[in-house]
């Protein structure tokens, strides 16, 4: 007896025609023509059943605050930081919680069930930390929310940040953040990387730094991050976010850098929507894209992810918690257009970030948690092409969100009356 059975599913690895049986919140069986009764049956009708989307880089304290107290007219990272600084003293505990919970509702509807969010600790009240710890507790039944103590205004540059970051960790924030390129000097930036990695090593925590989010090819804090990771034995527990300077770096230097990142076991997160929107702003033409070298890192076996970073906040006015939109932008910006590379873009919003977050029991395999998304698409490439509708989102074997399939009714002479985007093309 299964609590739930999904029939005729296609899986991200290309297997098709499989039934998935769920027992006690875990996937108990995956096979063709699976016998046994089930409390609930969902007919996948050959469509894709994937593990939930994972966003390993987000800012939930700022999300949905667009326009408060004003809009970012220049589009620059630094104006965004300035606007956020103006909003910070006006924040209330309730308002931060409300915005975050609203975002989590949206995330669930999009099949996004694990999020790593940075939370700004450069605030004597640590209001964002308190609020997001509360949100983490409230959404725990349906979203894995991981918090990063993020000194937005600089670990050394902002007076008191050193103590505030420690306090946030004492309160239960589980990842150490930083922003070395925003410190006053390159030397301070490098020193902050060293200090933050040491804190993580002492406390047994993970590290996720905003690292080299600049077009300056000489911003090389990733080199220090790889070095400190190696020195402190933190391999597999450290992530470099953004790494946009790598886009502009000298190719010879990068040829030395990539093996060092791989050796150290540092993972990389690009944020395609934000990187393409913010980087290259000081260029005339040609304008640099700014996104870090994801395909090249993948060839070195470096774990890579695409993050959303921002939705309707001082840095980005758009977004809808759709990790397929993120994957699509990453695919285009990095020109990852081969069949294999497109599949890797899907992995960059699922298995890649799941590894970075150290999620337990992640995947559509026997023994994994019964957390899944049924998409209106037959494979991962089509899912990205269509930004496929999340027909059903399943958490611990229970459906927690449903969306009607996308279908248009046409009124055209001699043409079909209905068009289903997932049934068009080679598979249809
Ligand atoms: Fe960020």
With a pLDDT cut of 70, the percent of the chain lying above it is 99
Ligand 1 center from residue 209 Cα (angstroms):
9
With a pLDDT cut of 90, the percent of the chain lying above it is 97
**pLDDT of res. 428:** 41
Ligand 1 center from residue 30 Cα (angstroms):
38
pLDDT digits 0-9 by tens, 37-72: 999 999 999 999 999 999 999 999 999 999 999 999
427 pLDDT more than 60: no
Ligand 1 center from residue 322 Cα (angstroms):
17
The model's confidence at residue 85, banded by pLDDT at 50, 70 and 90, is very high
Topology (CATH level 3) of domain 53-357? TIM Barrel (3.20.20)
The whole-number average pLDDT for the span 287-294 is 97
Residues with CB under 5 A from ligand 1 (ion): 309
Q: Which of 326-335, 337-346, 387-396, 413-422 has the lowest mean pLDDT?
A: 413-422
Q: Parse the chain into domains and list their residue ranges.
A: 2-51+363-409, 53-357
The whole-number average pLDDT for the span 248-260 is 98
How distant, in Å, are the alpha carbons of 303, 410, 422 from that of 364?
A: 19, 36, 22
Q: What pTM value is reported for the model?
A: 0.97
Helices (H), 221-356: 221-232, 245-248, 251-264, 272-278, 294-299, 323-333, 339-347, 351-356
195 pLDDT more than 90: yes
Distance separating the N- and C-terminal Cα atoms of the chain? 34
User: Chain-centre distance of CA 287, in angstroms?
Assistant: 26
Topology (CATH level 3) of domain 2-51+363-409? Urease, subunit C; domain 1 (2.30.40)
State yes or no: is 79 an active-site residue: no
Catalytic residue among 3, 79, 183, 213: 213
Q: Which of 246, 301, 241, 311 is nearest to 270 (CA)?
A: 241
- Mean pLDDT value across the chain: 97
Helix, strand or coil for residue 333? helix
pLDDT digits 0-9 by tens, 328-367: 999 999 999 999 999 999 999 999 999 999 999 999 999 9
């Amino acid at each position: 007896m299964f609590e739930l059975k999904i029939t005729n599913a296609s899986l991200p690895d290309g297997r098709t025609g499989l039934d998935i049986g769920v027992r006690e919140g875990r996937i108990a069986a995956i096979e063709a023509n699976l016998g046994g009764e089930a409390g609930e049956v969902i007919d996948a009708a050959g469509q894709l059943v994937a593990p939930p989307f994972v966003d390993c880089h987000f800012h939930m304290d700022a999300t949905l605050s667009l326009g408060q107290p004003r809009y970012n007219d220049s589009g620059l990272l630094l104006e965004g930081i300035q606007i956020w600084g103006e909003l910070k003293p006006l924040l209330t505990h309730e308002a931060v919680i409300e915005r975050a919970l609203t975002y989590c509702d949206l995330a669930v509807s999009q099949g996004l069930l694990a999020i790593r969010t940075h939370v700004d600790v450069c605030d004597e009240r640590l209001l964002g930390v308190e609020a997001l710890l509360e949100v983490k507790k409230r959404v725990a039944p349906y979203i894995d929310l991981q918090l990063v103590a993020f000194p937005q205004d600089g670990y050394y540059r902002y007076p008191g940040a050193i103590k505030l970051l420690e306090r946030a960790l004492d309160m239960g924030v589980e990842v150490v953040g930083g922003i070395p390129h925003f410190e006053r000097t390159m030397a301070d930036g490098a020193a902050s990387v060293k200090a933050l990695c040491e804190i993580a090593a002492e406390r047994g925590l993970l590290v996720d730094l905003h690292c080299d989010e600049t077009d300056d090819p000489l911003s090389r804090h990733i080199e220090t991050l790889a070095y400190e990771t190696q020195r402190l034995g933190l391999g597999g527990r450290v992530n470099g976010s953004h790494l946009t300077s790598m886009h502009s770096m000298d190719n010879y230097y990068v040829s030395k850098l990539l093996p060092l990142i791989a050796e150290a076991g540092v993972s990389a997160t690009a944020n395609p929507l934000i990187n393409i929107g913010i980087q290259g702003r000081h260029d005339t033409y040609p304008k640099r894209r700014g996104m870090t070298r994801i395909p090249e890192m993948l060839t070195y076996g470096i774990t890579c992810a695409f993050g959303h970073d921002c939705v309707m906040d001082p840095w980005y006015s758009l977004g809808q918690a759709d990790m397929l939109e993120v994957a699509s932008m990453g695919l285009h910006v990095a020109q990852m257009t081969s069949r294999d590379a497109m599949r890797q873009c899907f992995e960059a919003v699922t298995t890649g970030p799941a590894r970075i977050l150290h999620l337990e029991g992640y995947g559509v395999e026997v023994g994994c948690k019964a957390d899944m998304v049924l998409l209106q698409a037959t494979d991962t490439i089509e899912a990205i092409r269509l930004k496929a509708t999340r027909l059903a989102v399943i958490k611990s074997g229970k459906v927690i969100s449903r969306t009607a399939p996308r279908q248009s009714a046409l009124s055209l002479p001699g043409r079909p009356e209905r068009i289903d985007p997932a049934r068009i093309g080679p598979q249809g």
